[in-house]
Structure 1
Amino acid sequence: MNGRYDVRVCLVGDEFVTGVGDPRALGWVGRVSARTPRDDRDITLFPLGVPGETTTDLNGRWREETSRRFVGGDEHRLVVGLGHADLDAGTTLARSRLNLANVLDECEARGLPTLVVGPTPVSDAERNERIGDLADAFADVCARRRIAYVDTFSPLAEHEDWYADLAASDGIHPGQAGYGLLAWLVLHSGWYDWLGVPQP
């Protein structure tokens, strides 16, 4: 231990949290971390992604996963990265909302600052309509609780570079350029204020 103020940020969610598809293996989390000032403190980001995770799965595991990383440290924070696996699991919109609300309410009760990153569009236009509904629901849950929410769906829904990157992959996961866009959205949607560090 070097005696510096120790900030630990756990990031739970699906495979986007771990940067699946990025040939540079950075994802948006690595890029955001690289652009986060650490002049007066240590800030460590712990990406804890599970491929295809639903909000139900996330709600069931985030406590145990984060508690191990939060042992020690001066400050703890949580980022919830939401995908669209709920659509495949048959989860109703009401249940998706409730699952997120349960996580956020528990975090508030524990005094754990939380930031939510919403789901991204895919190459399938029909699926995007449903993802858009999901993103709107997540945004509303956060707004009602005054929780910072990063909307990635709306800015990327008509973004040519995003879809070009998806086309070069599997239509769902971006590559280097797409993760760069995601990182930019997170950084410019309140990341520095939420973390309590100056914007470079």
Structure 2
Amino acid sequence: MSEKRIIIIGDELVAGTADPRRLGWVGRVMSRTPFAPDQHVLSLAVPYDTTQGLVQRFATEVVPRLGRRCDNRLVISLGVGDIRGVRLSAPRTRLNLANLLDQAASHQVGCFVVGPPPLPGVEDDQLAHFSRACAEVCARRKVPYVDTYTALKDHDQWLSDLAAGDGLPGQAGYGLLAWLVLHRDWVSWLLGEEGEHAGVPTH
């Protein structure tokens, strides 16, 4: 089973919105990830998506892209739509993520979850609770989880980049998100091995 398909599902941060280079964190991560010719990266972004939307999109968008006799992987990028948009309850968010991970497992798809970063218009307490809840769901299923909130909530470069970009990250912010992903079991997850944890750069 040499062919690998990496499907990335999420909101506007997956699309790299507001990045002048149009790479976002996804493009930066992939540019630093060695791939063979038969390894495919498929990005599925819907602005302001919620965990409920991600669950619904699994059957209609993810499943049709799964390859037979492939090593199928799913990267789930969580945004703040549950809090800032439809305002889903914490138990509902947990259930949605659990359902999404369980659906993926039923299709033998390995998952990697990127948590929501701190963004304007979302209270710190709410987002901290959201991130912890999602981390717990992932831990129970032994799925790697990138806690971007804790790493970036007081990070000067992240905060200044948001201020300059009208509430969305630019080149520096997406670079920080990419760094966090790359240093949180990314390569070992792709290889099917258990990796090491790392913190956020302070530059």
CA shift for structure 1 position 90: 2.1
Q: For 1:145 and 1:81, how far apart are their aligned partners in 2?
A: 17
Instruction: Identify which of 1, 6, 10 aligns with 1:13.
Output: 10
CA shift for structure 1 position 58: 0.9
**Amino acid across the alignment from 1:96:** T
CA shift for structure 1 position 197: 8.0
Scaled by the length of structure 2, the TM-score of the pair is 0.89
Instruction: Identify which of 62, 66, 69 aligns with 1:66.
Output: 62
- Change beyond 3 A, Cα 1:23–1:61: same
What SS does the corresponding residue of 2:125 show, helix, strand or coil?
helix
| Residue matched to 1:35 | 32
| Residue matched to 1:179 | 174
Q: Does residue 161 of structure 1 match 2:149?
A: no
Q: For 1:138 and 1:147, how far apart are their aligned partners in 2?
A: 11
Unaligned runs of 5+ in 2: 196-203
CA shift for structure 1 position 63: 2.2
Q: Does the CA contact (< 8 Å) of 2:5 and 2:67 recur in 1?
A: no
Instruction: Identify which of 117, 121, 133 aligns with 2:129.
Output: 133
Deviations 1:8-43 (A, max 9, x none): 1001111111111100000000011000112x5633
Instruction: Identify which of 16, 21, 24 aligns with 1:24.
Output: 21
Q: For 2:103 and 2:192, how far apart are their aligned partners in 1?
A: 25
Q: Does residue 47 of structure 1 match 2:12?
A: no
| Residue matched to 1:92 | 89
CA shift for structure 1 position 107: 1.4
Q: Does residue 56 of structure 1 match 2:52?
A: yes
**Amino acid across the alignment from 2:153:** A
| Residue matched to 1:118 | 115
**Amino acid across the alignment from 2:101:** L
Instruction: Identify which of 172, 184, 191 aligns with 1:189.
Output: 184
| Residue matched to 2:198 | none
Deviations 1:34-89 (A, max 9, x none): 00112x56332211010000111111112221223224562110000001111121
What SS does the corresponding residue of 2:169 show, helix, strand or coil?
coil
Q: For 1:182 and 1:90, how far apart are their aligned partners in 2?
A: 24
Paired residues, number: 193
**Amino acid across the alignment from 2:126:** R
Q: Does the CA contact (< 8 Å) of 1:23 and 1:176 recur in 2?
A: yes
**Amino acid across the alignment from 2:174:** Y
- Change beyond 3 A, Cα 1:79–1:153: same
Q: For 2:120 and 2:156, how far apart are their aligned partners in 1?
A: 11
Unaligned runs of 5+ in 1: none
Q: For 1:159 and 1:123, how far apart are their aligned partners in 2?
A: 14
Root-mean-square deviation (CA, aligned residues, Å) is 1.9
Scaled by the length of structure 1, the TM-score of the pair is 0.90
What SS does the corresponding residue of 1:170 show, helix, strand or coil?
coil
Q: Does the CA contact (< 8 Å) of 1:55 and 1:96 recur in 2?
A: yes
Q: Which moved more, 1:181-190 or 1:68-77?
A: 68-77
Percent sequence identity over aligned pairs: 45
